[in-house]
Every structure is written in C-alpha cells, then in structure tokens.
Amino acid sequence: MVGIGISLLALLPWPTDFYLITRLGISLTAGLLAYTLYKSKPEDQQGWWVLLGACTILYNPIFPVYLNSRPTWMILNILTALLFWKCGKFLKEEKQSEKDEWDSPWK
C-alpha cells in the first residue's frame, strides 16, 4: 500500500526534492517486494519479481534515470502503482492459501 500511495502522490506537482524522496520510497518498496516474491515461489512469480527489480533500478536515487518528460513519468507512476497492487494481491492470495492449507489438530 505504501508503494501505491507514493506512486500516486508523485503524479501531483511537487518541488524537485520531493521526487528524490519518492524515488527512494518506490525503489525500496519495489526491491523488498521483489525479494519477497522471489523467496515465496520464484518459479510462479518470476515475471513479477523481475518487473519489480526493473522498477528498483529505474527509480533508484543513487544512479537516477532522467527521462526529462513529465508525462512519461506520470505514465510510469501509474503503471508502477498497478504493479504494486497486482503483486500485493499475489502475496495476499498466497498467504490466504497457506492459511487454508494448515490443518488444525483439533478438527
């Protein structure tokens, strides 16, 4: 949810320093989510954690990628928010399926 919020906040006009903070937040969130998906089931979620890894690189604040086009960044921010939503949905479904598979000894 944090990544979605940051991505959508970046659509608004802000001072330049704010975008450095959004880059850091999105990059960290994408990296952690990619790692989580990779560790959960790498063969099932391969395309998603690879996309998140690409977001980590695209948004990294240390070696920034400059596209010099606000509309392009706006599209990327919307796509990134959708990517975070979809990957969060995968993790939620996986967590629910693990919970459903657990057999209680008191059944």
* pLDDT tens sequence across 13-46: 989 889 999 999 999 999 999 998 888 876 666 7
| Domain assignment present for 55 | yes
| Domain assignment present for 52 | yes
Q: What percent of the chain has pLDDT over 90?
A: 48
pLDDT at residue 55 tops 60: yes
Mean pLDDT of 52-74: 92
C-beta of residue 34 within 8 angstroms of C-beta of residue 53: yes
In eight-state DSSP terms, residue 102 is P
User: Highest mean pLDDT: which of 11-15, 32-36, 62-66, 76-80?
Assistant: 76-80
| Separation between Cα atoms, residue 29 and residue 87, nearest integer Å | 11
Mean pLDDT of 60-67: 91
| Domain assignment present for 97 | no
| Domain assignment present for 102 | no
Cα-based distances in Å from 21 to 17, 33, 73, 98, 103: 7, 18, 15, 35, 44
| Domain assignment present for 61 | yes
| Domain assignment present for 43 | yes
| Domain assignment present for 65 | yes
Lowest mean per-residue pLDDT among 1-5, 17-21, 60-64, 78-82: 1-5
pLDDT at residue 77 tops 90: yes
pLDDT at position 93 is 81
Where in the sequence is the domain holding 15, given as residue range(s)? 2-92
